[in-house]
Structure 1
Amino acid sequence: MTILVAYVARPEGQAALDKGIEIATRRNEPLVVVNAGPGGKDDTGVVDGYEGERLAERLAKLPVPAEFKHFVRGKSTVDEIEALVNHLDVSVLVIGLRRRTAVGKLLLGSTAQEILMTVSCPVLCVKAA
């Protein structure tokens, strides 16, 4: 079994990472942290080289096997996460949530909602402090 964390370089992504590390360590399960998106110049939340290196260094210090994957290859975030859930034996997917107004949700949609409706494993949603 594997703990999968969907990571974005924002406070809600950090909250998801912290919770994923806590669960993986407590259960003694491998941890996979993924940052995924279609890419492009307007893409926000994509981890730059420094952030990716810092994450990899943090994961290397954990008492469980852990790895960081960064995908920017034209697929949607949901498609990339769903593919990992189907490929790995995921016991839980951890995602971060941010506060949005009802109108914001209506106009922009919700990646978190799509993930909840799509993936076949349990999903733990966490909020930033």
Structure 2
Amino acid sequence: MTIVVGYVPTPEGEAALTQAIAEAKKSNDTLLVINSSKGDALVDNRYAQEPDIQSIEERLAEHGIQHIIKQPVRGHDAAAEVLDAADDNDASLIVIGLRRRSPVGKLIMGSVSQRILLEADCPVLAVKAD
């Protein structure tokens, strides 16, 4: 089976990756790391750069985790990319990081995490950064 983790280069993304590694080690599943961008801006701080990707590759190799890292830029939001990856790979679990937001912030900006939690066809593990 496959575990899908939504990754962004933030403390929340690192927390999600750490938990996904632990889950993959327990179940011996392949880990699919999704880091996406809509591609609608010249700079997207949530899109991991090459040093970030190399660090993830090294970390997963150290743990002996079979993995795939995908960085789609297709105009879709992050929730759609994670949900599509989970569906396409028959995921057994999705792991996401959560950040604190006010109720008004959620209302105005929406919530990628909330959409994944509500629409996923498999279990979702949501973690917070330290």
| TM-score (structure 2 length as normaliser) | 0.92
For 1:71, the equivalent position in structure 2 comes to: 72
Report the RMSD for the aligned CA atoms in angstroms: 1.3
For 1:34, the equivalent position in structure 2 comes to: 34
Q: Deviations over 1:34-93 (max 9, x none)?
A: 101202225331101111121122222222311211112222212211211111121110
- Which has more strand, going by share of residues? 1
Partner-residue secondary structure (3-state), 1:99: coil
CA distance in 1, matches of 2:4, 2:63: 15
Runs of 4+ in 1 over 6 A off after TM superposition: none
Percent of residue pairs identical: 42
For 2:9, the equivalent position in structure 1 comes to: 9
Q: Please list every run of 5 or more consecutive structure 1 residues that lacks an aligned counterpart in the other structure.
A: none
CA distance in 2, matches of 1:44, 1:104: 19
The correspondence of residues 92-103 of structure 1 with structure 2, limited to 5 A, is: 92-103=93-104
Shift of 1:11: 0.4
CA distance in 2, matches of 1:63, 1:100: 35
The one-letter code of the counterpart of 1:78 is A
| TM-score (structure 1 length as normaliser) | 0.92
CA distance in 1, matches of 2:127, 2:118: 17
Q: Please list every run of 5 or more consecutive structure 2 residues that lacks an aligned counterpart in the other structure.
A: none
